[in-house]
Amino acid sequence: MAPGIAHATLPQAASDTLATSSTTSGSMTAADASPPGDHPSIWSGFYQKALKERQALLRMAFPHLFRTSLASSLIDSGNSGTATLLNGSSSPALQPKYAVGSGAASPSLTMSGNSNAATGKLMRAMQLSSAASAGLSGSNGALDSSGRYGEDAFPIRGLEENIADHMIENCIGTMGIPVGLALNFVINGVPTVVPMAVEEPSVVAAVSGAAKTLSSSRDNIGFRTTSPARNIITAQVLLLDVPDDRLADVEATILAKKKDVLAAANQYCSNMHKRGGGVINLLVRKVKRQSDSADSHIDKTTTAFLAAHLPRSSSTTPSAAATTASASTHWLVVHLHIDVCDAMGANCASTVAEGVAPVLVDLAGPGARSGLRIVSNLNPDRLSRASFRIPVESLAYKGFSGAQVAARVIEAYQWARDDPYRATTHNKGIMNGIDAVALATGQDWRAVEAACHSWAAGNGQEGSRGYSSLTRYWVEKEAAVNPKSAEDEWVFCGELALPIIVGTKGGVLATAPVYQYTLGMMGFPDSKQLAAIMCCIGLAQNFAALRALATEGIQRGHMHLHARNIAIAAGAPTHAIPKVTAWMIEKGRISVDAAREYV
């Protein structure tokens, strides 16, 4: 374990870079201009370590997050050769500042003085921290007599039952899901580690492997991201019983009173408005209503039932005009655009929709009524974008040239672009990565899924061809970097743009402490930065899948991880799982029976 950290030579994988020097006492941070690989990475060989060793490493990489009573004295000692947190403060900060303004950076580590002494102290601290994780302080990583985990138990774990019982109805327990760490990402020039909660094997390995390739751009920027200026969420208010001949007049009336409507709406999100957010705009949409005859489930009987039981106005006696209004050929929908700052914003949007609906009904005139008042999870104004540019020659992989890989990946993308059957699986792979980050950071992954697939179907976009690939790949030519080369160079480009709605304030984030640790490892990104990180993860996962599919196929790499899960399911002892896995693969018999036979 010790040599792997002291003498690592793999490219820098995350912002917590361990820079050692035997001749100087200077420090190196993630913001330095030196390219990845010029100094050892604290993450080198991370995947080969045992779980407790990884946890110990995280305690050293993020002392402001993962403190223990055993290791705190070494972390805080400040002596020459001791790892210290570069956060502009002598004491651990709850939310360290970003190393680079446009990216979510984890804090950087530095080693000063003699590298051997530094490494020795680091190893000693890690041993103590690992012992703490194993429970040498009596915690044993389990609940103590008070029903809480011991002080030194590693904090990335499942909910305590007393908290879970207050989060949902009829709670009977909790379920765990593995949390892994995606490495090798450089986002807007900032090395970043990304936690992912996922039960499917190969997802974390795939994104980490792809990121190692895609982050190695010549300018050290890696993935580039763009985010909207404001975090907008949409509240929808449906106005009913407005006849076709009045639709234009009602729309004009609402827009003429826009200022008054916004003022009224902001009364229902006053705290958000005080923080610089709140309702900032509205628009009115006329949505074509499908003919009931085109709906196989809506026959004359259902139509008659609706006529008898739906209210036609706010009055107790429906008028003839109101009855006629029900035959409108359009839905009249008012959208209220709300800047929710760093919140996800769903509850805020629904509150605003319900609060302002009576104002809109009054503006719509006699006979009108409000229908549903609810948040929309499709928000094109919240579009985040991730992209990369890498020389084609850098894509060489498993015996395939860079040009072959690029051409085959583009061809695979084109199929997903044109065939919705393929696009569905193509996009499912993207969501493997995005959902895993959403789960690890306390986001509403169902809302994220709904928005992304709606976007893939072309909703909210002009000129859409229907359900298609979320990613895009192409090549460009640019001037040769080598002045001796007369030929332009091919550059491989990839992009993913998604209307991802996430939040880093409020909601479940304030209930479950674990999310402060997972967000903290990314440098406590704001909601826009988190959405951009998730786009990078989705793009990396998709590239990894297409690269594997278009070259050697996915089963070769996936079967090793699948075999490992089979060994676990067969009851193989922990220490024997690698041997059982290797034996099953060698024999070509990957099954529970084969694993039990070996055991």
So what's the pLDDT on residue 366? 93
Domain range enclosing 25: 1-155
The two three-digit tokens of residue 9, written as one number: 């030579």
Q: How would residue 557 be classed by pLDDT, with cut points 50, 70 and 90?
A: low
Residues 370 and 461 in one domain: no
Answer for the pair 155, 58: CB distance below 8 angstroms, yes or no: no
Compute how many other C-beta atoms are within 10 angstroms of the C-beta atom of residue 91. Answer: 8
At 357-403, the pLDDT tens digits run: 999 999 999 999 999 999 999 999 999 999 999 999 999 999 999 99
Mean pLDDT over 524-533 rounds to 97
Average per-residue pLDDT for the chain: 80
Question: What residues act catalytically?
Answer: 200, 428, 444, 558
Q: Which of 329, 361, 380 marks a domain boundary?
A: 380
Residues 305 and 352 in one domain: yes
Report whether pLDDT(471) > 60: yes
Greater pLDDT, 97 or 291? 291
Give the pLDDT confidence score for residue 71 in this predicted structure: 43
Q: What is the pLDDT of residue 477?
A: 92
Please check whether residues 451 and 542 belong to one and the same domain. Answer: yes
Dihedral of alpha carbons 557, 561, 566, 571, sign: positive
Q: In terms of domains, do 482 and 581 share one? A: no
299-331 per-position pLDDT tens digit: 888 888 988 998 764 433 334 444 444 468 999
- Is 317 a member of any domain? yes
Distance set, CA 340 to CA 280, 449, 534 (Å): 10, 20, 19
Q: Return d(Cα 531, Cα 385) in angstroms, integer.
A: 9
Least confident of 27-31, 142-146, 423-427: 27-31
State the amino acid at position 590 in one-letter form: I
Residues 199-218: tens digit of each pLDDT: 998 899 999 999 999 987 77
Q: Could you say which DSSP state residue 285 is in?
A: E
The reply to whether 457 and 357 lie within a common domain is: no
Give yes or no: residues 462 and 478 share one domain. yes
> Is 70 exceeded by the pLDDT of residue 74?
no
Q: What's 125's DSSP letter? A: H
**34 pLDDT tier (thresholds 50, 70, 90):** very low
560: nearest Cα among 45, 206, 180: 206
Q: Contact 350/375 with Cβ under 8 angstroms?
A: yes
Can you tell me whether residue 181 is helix, strand or coil?
strand
DSSP state for residue 96 in the 8-state scheme: P
Same domain as 539, residue 409: yes
Angle between helices 258-266 and 247-256 (to 10 degrees): 70
**pLDDT score at 312:** 67
Residue that the structure tokens 């060489």 belong to:
396
DSSP 8-state secondary structure symbol assigned to residue 505: B
- Sheet harboring 278-288: ordered strands across? 278-288, 330-339, 232-240, 369-376
Does position 40 have pLDDT exceeding 70, yes or no?
Answer: no
pLDDT at 23: 30
* Residues 151, 99 share a domain: yes
* Helix 346-364, helix 258-266: angle, nearest 10: 140
Examine the domain organization and report whether 440 and 568 are in the same domain.
no
Q: What percent of the chain has pLDDT over 70?
A: 74
β-bridge pairing 278-288 and 330-339: antiparallel
Full-model pTM? 0.80
Model confidence pLDDT, tens digit, residues 82-111: 333 223 222 233 343 333 333 344 444 333
**Does residue 2 register a pLDDT over 70?**
no
> What percent of the chain has a predicted confidence (pLDDT) above 90?
56
- Tokens describing residue 429: 């792979």
Displacement of CA 212 from its chain's centroid (Å): 18
Which tokens sit at 435?
């959902």
Query: Does 515 share its domain with 577?
Result: no
The C-alpha atoms of residue 472 and residue 144 are separated, in whole angstroms, by 52
* pLDDT(514) > 70: yes
Exposed/middle/buried for 312, CB within 10 Å: 0-12, 13-18, 19+?
A: buried
Number of compact structural domains in the chain? 4
Q: Are residues 246 and 370 in the same domain?
A: yes
The model's confidence at residue 10, banded by pLDDT at 50, 70 and 90, is very low
In angstroms, what CA-CA distances link 449 with 109, 419, 470, 502? Answer: 36, 20, 12, 12
* Final residue before a domain boundary, out of 380, 396, 431: 380
Domain final residue, candidates 380, 406, 428: 380
Domain-located, residue 188? no
The answer to whether residues 177 and 439 touch, using CB atoms and an 8 Å cutoff, is yes
User: Same structural domain for residues 105 and 43?
Assistant: yes
User: From start to end of 13-101, where are the E strands?
Assistant: 84-85
Give the distance between the most distant pair of CA atoms in the chain: 92
